Amino acid sequence: MEKKIALIHGDGIGPEIVDEAVRVLNKTADTFGHKFAYTPVLMGGIAIDETGVPLPDETLKVCRESDSVLLGAVGGPKWDKGAGNMRPEAGLLGIRSALGLYANLRPAKLLAPLAEACPLKRSITDKGLDLLIVRELIGGAYFGEKRTFTDERGFKTATDEMKYSDFEIERICRTAFELAKKRRGKVTSVDKANVLDTSRLWRGIAHKVSGEYPDIDYEDMLVDNTAMQLVRDPSHFDVIVTENLFGDILSDEASMITGSLGMIPSASLADGAFGLYEPVHGSAPDIAGTGKANPIATILSAAMMLRFSFGMQAEADAVESAVNKVLEAGYRTADIMSEGCRLVDCKDMGGLITDNIA
């Protein structure tokens, strides 16, 4: 099979981790008889420096002509003082919206070799930690009208409108139920229906969609309770579906309880097979260029690309199993290092995983 992949290296550790994921993809292509063609494009701080905008039109054009997009990370202190629409993160919001990437999938799974890195008690994690957060990605407060003004009393005031329409809620709920069919068959829809109108609309539609999936175990949960249950008993959850802002916060909490931000991949999907794949962490400017970056989240994001955009299940399994083998053999980057393990840098970790693709 031949596939076109747009590569966005981005800023900070972005280029280092994307290079390792490409090595793994190339070995996978050789092993399974595929051909992947890459087109590097600019986004984020480097795009501001080189073109004056965080998301050049050329980048969107190449992404639209590709089968999927692999992204490292964007942002850094150098660009923090720019106006909102001139920051690297504006590129991120812009690309999600322009490509219609409304479903963000973030798995949080505790891998056996990393059990020690999990900050939760063994008595909690022994019950299992393997959940998937399905976050609505192009609606809600991040995309609503924003205003900073002086009100009639003379106070400086800001508002961010949180807005959802029925079709946006319905399609993300359907994504969650479809994914639950392939997992343990349970969906938790998270909202704040005791306070917010958007959440009451959300809950009504989630109930309606749940009626179409009688075999899926369904529940609603308030977001504050969900934040608590995630650390009290994460084994309670299989698929969590929620709106943009709640999903942003809960998915970082879920990543942290698996041990390291450097381990968690994500997929952002549009209708059909197109998707953008990226690690959940940022550009880690504090360790950029030191070789300390953990490339595993990006490599696992590439595995999600193989699975969700290219329908290559065996190939995705091969990448995930190579990651497991390397961790089981005791190799660790600095962020997941523990006693008795062997410390390796970003390139070595990428090389070891590449060598274990079979």
Q: Check binding of 20 to ligand NAD (CB under 6 A).
A: no
Shortest approach of ligand NAD to residue 105 CB, angstroms?
Answer: 14
Residue 283 found at the interface with ligand NAD (CB under 6 A):
yes
Instruction: Decide if residue 258 touches ligand NAD (CB under 6 A).
Output: no
Render 189-240 in DSSP notation, one character per residue.
EEE-TTT-HHHHHHHHHHHHHHTT-TTSEEEEEEHHHHHHHHHH-GGG-SEE
CA dist 354 → 18, 150, 181, 333, 349 (Å): 13, 56, 31, 16, 9
Q: Is 259 in the site for ligand NAD (CB under 6 A)?
A: no
Comparing CB distances to ligand NAD, the nearer of 29 and 74 is: 74
Q: Considering only residues 326 through 345, tell me which ones interact with ligand NAD, judged by CB under 6 A.
A: 335
Q: How far is the CB of 69 from ligand NAD (least distance, A)?
A: 12
Based on CB atoms, which residue is closest to ligand NAD, 62 or 73? 73
Rounded to whole angstroms, the Cα distance separating 49 from 51 reads 6
Q: Could you say whether residue 67 binds ligand NAD (CB under 6 A)?
A: no
Torsional sign, CA 248, 271, 59, 160: negative
Q: Are 187 and 218 in contact (CB under 8 A)?
A: yes
Stretch that binds ligand NAD, among 60-68, 69-77, 120-128, 313-321 (CB under 6 A): 69-77
Q: Whole-number minimum distance, CB 136 to ligand NAD, in Å?
A: 16
User: What part of residues 99-138 is at the interface with ligand NAD (CB under 6 A)?
Assistant: none
CB of 74 to ligand NAD, least distance (A): 4
Angle at 19 between CA 15 and CA 25, to 5 degrees: 145
Instruction: Give 107's strand partners.
Output: 132
Least separation, in Å, of the C-beta of 73 and ligand NAD? 4
Q: Which is nearer to ligand NAD, 136 or 238 (CB)?
A: 136
Identify whether the C-beta of residue 332 lies closer than 8 Å to the C-beta of residue 341: yes
User: Can residue 265 be called a binding residue for ligand NAD (CB under 6 A)?
Assistant: no
CA distance 79 to 209: 42
Told to check if 92 binds ligand NAD by CB under 6 A, we report yes
Tell whether residue 16 is a contact of ligand NAD (CB under 6 A): no
> 3-class SS at 106?
strand
- The residues facing 278 across adjacent strands are 266
Near ligand NAD by CB under 6 A: residue from 66, 188, 258, 294: 294
In degrees to the nearest 10, what's the CA dihedral of 18, 23, 27, 29? 40
Non-local (6+) Cβ contacts of 167 within 8 A are none
**293 near ligand NAD (CB under 6 A):** yes
- Rounded distance, CA 303 to CA 166, Å? 32
Which of 30, 126, 166, 224 is an active site residue? 224
Q: Which of 198, 282, 315, 332 binds ligand NAD (CB under 6 A)?
A: 282
Residue 77 or 330 having the CB closest to ligand NAD: 77
Q: 140 or 350, CB closer to ligand NAD?
A: 350
Closest CA to 348 of 293, 305, 270: 293
Contact pick of 281, 307, 322, 344 for ligand NAD (by CB under 6 A):
281
Minimum distance from residue 88 beta carbon to ligand NAD (Å): 6
Place of tokens 């696992």: 300
What type of residue is 73? A
Q: How far apart are CA 20 and CA 350, in angstroms?
A: 5
Torsion of CA 31, 32, 34, 40, to 10 degrees: -50
Pick the catalytic residue from 3, 67, 142, 213: 142
Residue from 54, 56, 76, 275 that binds ligand NAD (CB under 6 A)? 76
Question: Residue count at the site for ligand NAD (CB under 6 A)?
Answer: 21
Instruction: Let me know if 224 is a catalytic residue.
Output: yes
* 252 in active site: yes
- Residue holding tokens 């179409």? 212
Active site amino acids: 142, 192, 224, 248, 252
Give the residues lining the site for ligand NAD (CB under 6 A).
13, 73-76, 89, 92, 261-262, 278, 281-287, 293-294, 297, 335
